[in-house]
Amino acid sequence: MNRGPFIFVGLFIVLAFSWANLVNRPIQQSGQLSAIYDDSERKPRIAPGAADQGKLVYQQMGCVSCHTQQTRLTVGSDIDRAWGIRQSVARDYVGQYPALIGDRRIGPDLSNVGAKELDSEWHHLHFYNSQITSAGSNMPSYSFLYDVRPVIGQPSDRALDLPEGYEVDPGYEVVPTRRAEALVAYMLSLKVDYDLPEAPSPEKIGL
Amino acid sequence: MKFISNICSSLWPELSGELKGRETQWSIDSSIRYPLLGMIKPAAFWFVVSLIFGLIASIKLHSPGFLGSCEWLTYGKVEPVFWNSLIYGWLFNAGLACAFWLLARLGGAPIGNGFLLTVSLSIWNVALVVGLIGILMGGTLPLNWRESLTVSGQLPYEWLEMPPFIAPILLASFIGMGLWGLLTFRERVHRASYASQWYVLAALFAFAWIYTAAQIMLIREPSQGSLQYLVGSWYANNLLMIVIVPLALACVYYLLPKALGTPIVGYNHSGRAFWSWFIFASCAGSAELINGPIPAWVTAVGIIAAFGILYPLTVFGIQFLSTLFANFTRIWDTLSLRFVLFGCIGFIVFGAYYIYGSLRSTQEVAQFSSFSNGVQLLGLLGFASMIFSGFLYFILSRLLNKELPSAALAEIHFWMQLSGVLLLVSSLITGGLQEGELMNGSTVSVLSIVVNLKSYYVMASLGMFLMLLGAIAFLVSFTLFMFSTRSEKEETGTLIGESPELEASVS
């Protein structure tokens, strides 16, 4: 092994093997997936425009460091926790760029959070200060996505209804910025509550 | 035992240089002093910076209010900044400085092209600053900036979070540095090559390859949905396993015989260990994607490959540890060797955890927990960072022809880094297993899991803090090294004489 070229050619082959098998082959196999239409319903769903902007906020804030968007059926307790209704499959992510799948869960999985009974008011309070809705949580406060401004005339109907202990100075109100509105719209749009033929679910495998 | 007989038959590259001894070494060192110091300076800086971010991120997990109102320092930004500055800042600069030094020394002749190296490494570091600021700015820009090239939101791929426009600049400057390494290797006087050189060349080549592939498949021509997840994890695994680990292995192969004065035990197994490491380690990463939205056979391949790592790992373990323990009494007195000893032990433990972590049954418990971050940090901080630190002390006194300015500072660096890594990694790994058990094995609410894990988070912060102290000690030590005036003995250039230990390998 005295020759540089030998190392380079050898390594080229090794890396090409790794890339061709573990990256390129799966892409050839399942990279051409497309959405399916079922009773004129598109699966996966297309999120509304506001949600698209919210996704960008989600990216910018790095929510993916703490939240995944994938659920597993045969292992873990994702289904029991109601984080999803079935196994996540490749088709669920068709058209997503970037796909915010994630591999670290400090908080819950969010792939189906829009199907939960959490309304936009709850999400706003939670983002403004997670302690309001979830005392003891280590989810950061995103209060910088909210404007604190003096009430002029009528209070805004979008102002947060802050509970005791979290109020701002009298005469002021807390109003979501466009970014906060977009982020909440994105949360509410996250719904994987439809079935796909290839996706294993508890019913299909008889769990 | 076979390995003992191998001591005698160890393959040694032959000495064939024209100039011999300290004079050649001195002329080699002078030829690369300027660019190498140009890498060690940012390395020391990034070491401190990355651990400051690591500490902030870690504190935020148990005290979320800490710096809570600052948008630039929200958890989702400081965490990737920590990883990126640790890897591309500290480990790349330090690792490449060590690698280039040993390429030059093993080549046996003074090296030109310093300009190429200096320019490339300056661009690399400036681009890195811009890229990290890009992550921190991720959110302050108005939404309608999304169409612009500059800030398009943080990318959600591990260790690739920097804004896309930075990537070509980083790649180009890396290729500049890599070319320098290649030219140095080509111009060597000693025709025979040594294991350290293979690992360095391989790491240089591997990074250019995986970074290009990842950039194309994630950013220029993004692959579809769930496959991005696959490409991202392929990149991150390979960055750790076939770029950073080989750089550190190169240093171990060089430093052990140099500082101990004996050849590596069982050196003639190195070729097989080299190839098997690259073959298996480059395929092993997908084991962690088990049960995800990707084809199941991909993870099966990953698991099998992870088992393949057992072979090179055993060879490394036997080679390094037997060489070290055969000379145990000398280790404690030589600072560099102490770093290397613990680095090697860290490597074996890392390898064992890596294989353990790719088991199906481990993933069932530990998937998505802090376990895998703990294993990664064991490889990055417990192994690579330990080795590079030891190696930097070794080369600094030779490059500058000065004595270590303060043994006490270096001791602080050593003990803080060792205890910090132990605390940090053990809290992430054991905490991660417990976290996983609760997250994956029960339906206990996430809120109560967070509360439950608080003591582990605090322990991790303490570990980060100790490491930060160590990094600061290194920075101060390095600054003193640079600015101290030479003593008379140092002036005459005879400080590092032709001690027998330096005769053990080529130059």
CATH match of A36-200 with 3.20.20.10: no
Q: Evaluate whether B235 touches B157 at the Cβ level (below 8 Å).
A: yes
**Taking Cα atoms as reference points, which of B152, B135, B129 lies closest to residue B74?**
B135
- Cα B295 to Cα B457: distance, rounded to the nearest angstrom: 34
Cβ contact, residue pair A140, B60, below 8 Å: yes
Q: Which of B206, B294, B451 sits opposite A26 (nearest CB)?
A: B294
Residues 6+ apart with CB under 8 A from B249: B199, B277, B316
3-state SS, chain A, equals CCCHHHHHHHHHHHHHHHHHHHHHHHHHHHCCCCCEEECCEEECCCCCHHHHHHHHHHHHCCHHHCCCCCCCCCCCCCCCCCCCCCCCCHHHHCCCCCCCCCCCCCCCCCCCHHHCCCCHHHHHHHHHCHHHHCCCCCCCCCHHHEEEEECCCCCCCCCCCCCCCCCCCCCEEEEECHHHHHHHHHHHHCCCCCCCCCCCCHHHHCC
Backbone angles phi, psi at B72, to 5 degrees: -65, -25
Nearest chain A Cα distance for residue B180, angstroms: 14
Q: Which of B74, B202, B283 sits opposite A61 (nearest CB)?
A: B74
**Taking Cα atoms as reference points, which of B181, B166, B157, B173 lies closest to residue B133?**
B166
Counting every residue written for chain B, the total comes to 507
**Which residues of B fall within a CB distance of 8 Å from A23?**
213, 217, 230-231, 234
Give the number of beta-carbon pairs within 8 Å between A and B.
249
Q: What is the pLDDT of residues A116-143, one digit of tens each?
A: 999 999 999 999 999 999 999 999 999 9
Distances (CA, A) of B244 to A84, B256, B309: 38, 19, 16
* pTM (predicted TM-score): 0.93
Residue type, B112: G
Cβ contact, residue pair B225, A95, below 8 Å: yes
**Percent residues over pLDDT 90 in chain A:** 60
Q: Within 10 A of B498 (CB to CB), how many other CB atoms are there? A: 13
Structure tokens at A145: 């996505």
Taking the domains of chain A in order of start, what are their residue ranges? 36-200
Helices A4-19 and B195-215 cross at an angle (nearest 10°) of: 40
Q: Is B231 on the interface with A (CB under 8 A)?
A: yes
- Cα A66 to Cα B363: distance, rounded to the nearest angstrom: 18
Residue B176 has, within 13 A of its CA and on its CB side, a CA count of: 20
Strand partners for A148: A174
**Which residues of B fall within a CB distance of 8 Å from A8?**
201, 205
Residue B294: closest CA among chain A residues belongs to which residue? A90
Antiparallel, parallel or unpaired: β A41-43 and A146-150: unpaired
- Cα A81 to Cα B443: distance, rounded to the nearest angstrom: 6
Please report the residues numbered 29 through 68 in chain B whose beta carbons come closer than 8 angstroms to any beta carbon of chain A.
60-62, 64-65, 68
Q: Which of B70, B193, B282 sits opposite A1 (nearest CB)?
A: B193
Q: Which residue has the tokens 């804004």?
A: B163
Q: Is B209 on the interface with A (CB under 8 A)?
A: yes
Q: Is B241 on the interface with A (CB under 8 A)?
A: no
Cβ contact, residue pair A62, B161, below 8 Å: yes
Cβ contact, residue pair A27, B223, below 8 Å: yes
pLDDT by 10s per residue, chain B, length 507: 344 333 333 333 333 333 456 677 788 888 888 899 999 999 999 999 999 999 999 999 999 999 988 889 999 999 999 999 999 999 999 999 999 999 998 888 778 778 899 999 999 999 999 999 989 987 444 444 444 444 468 889 999 999 888 899 999 999 999 999 998 888 888 777 889 999 999 999 999 999 999 999 988 888 888 899 999 999 999 999 999 999 999 999 999 998 888 889 999 999 999 999 999 999 998 889 999 999 889 999 999 999 999 999 999 999 999 999 888 888 887 889 999 999 999 999 999 999 999 999 999 999 999 999 999 999 999 999 999 999 999 999 888 888 888 889 999 999 999 999 999 999 999 999 999 999 999 999 999 999 999 999 999 999 999 999 999 999 999 999 888 877 666 665 555 544 333 333 433
Question: By CB neighbour count within 10 A (0-12 exposed, 13-18 middle, 19+ buried), where does B143 fall?
Answer: middle
Q: Evaluate whether B277 touches B20 at the Cβ level (below 8 Å).
A: no
Q: Which residue has the tokens 């070729």?
A: B271
pLDDT for residue A50: 83
Residues 6+ apart with CB under 8 A from A9: none
Average pLDDT over residues A189-198: 90
Q: Evaluate whether B459 touches B49 at the Cβ level (below 8 Å).
A: no
Q: What is the pLDDT of residues A159-172, one digit of tens each?
A: 999 999 999 999 99
Cβ contact, residue pair A102, B156, below 8 Å: yes
Q: Is B286 on the interface with A (CB under 8 A)?
A: yes
Residue type, A90: A
Residue A178: closest CA among chain B residues belongs to which residue? B143
Please report the residues numbered 127 through 166 in chain A whose beta carbons come closer than 8 angstroms to any beta carbon of chain B.
130, 134-144
Distances (CA, A) of B65 to A72, A134, A165, B269: 32, 14, 16, 53
Q: Evaluate whether B444 touches B453 at the Cβ level (below 8 Å).
A: no
Maximum distance among all alpha carbons in chain A? 82
**Which residues of B fall within a CB distance of 8 Å from A19?**
209, 213, 234
Q: What is the pLDDT of residues A32-86, one digit of tens each?
A: 788 888 877 888 888 787 888 899 899 999 999 999 999 999 898 999 999 999 9
Nearest chain B Cα distance for residue A112, angstroms: 15
**Among positive and negative, which fits the CA dihedral B89, B201, B506, B34?**
negative
**Taking Cα atoms as reference points, which of B307, B190, B286 lies closest to residue B233?**
B286
Please report the residues numbered 75 through 134 in chain A whose beta carbons come closer than 8 angstroms to any beta carbon of chain B.
75-77, 80-81, 87-90, 92-108, 130, 134
Residue B271: closest CA among chain A residues belongs to which residue? A1
Binned at pLDDT 50, 70 and 90, residue A30 comes out as confident
pLDDT for residue B3: 40
Rounded to the nearest angstrom, the gap between the alpha carbon of residue B209 and the centroid of all alpha carbons in its chain is 18
3-state SS, residue B132: helix
Residue A73: closest CA among chain B residues belongs to which residue? B291
**Which residues of B fall within a CB distance of 8 Å from A62?**
74-77, 79-80, 135, 138, 154, 161
Distances (CA, A) of A64 to A55, B116, B288, B475, B490: 11, 38, 17, 33, 53
**Which residues of A fall within a CB distance of 8 Å from B182?**
4
Strand partners for A174: A148
Cβ contact, residue pair B450, A141, below 8 Å: no
- Vertex B158: Cα angle to B152 and B159 (nearest 5): 85
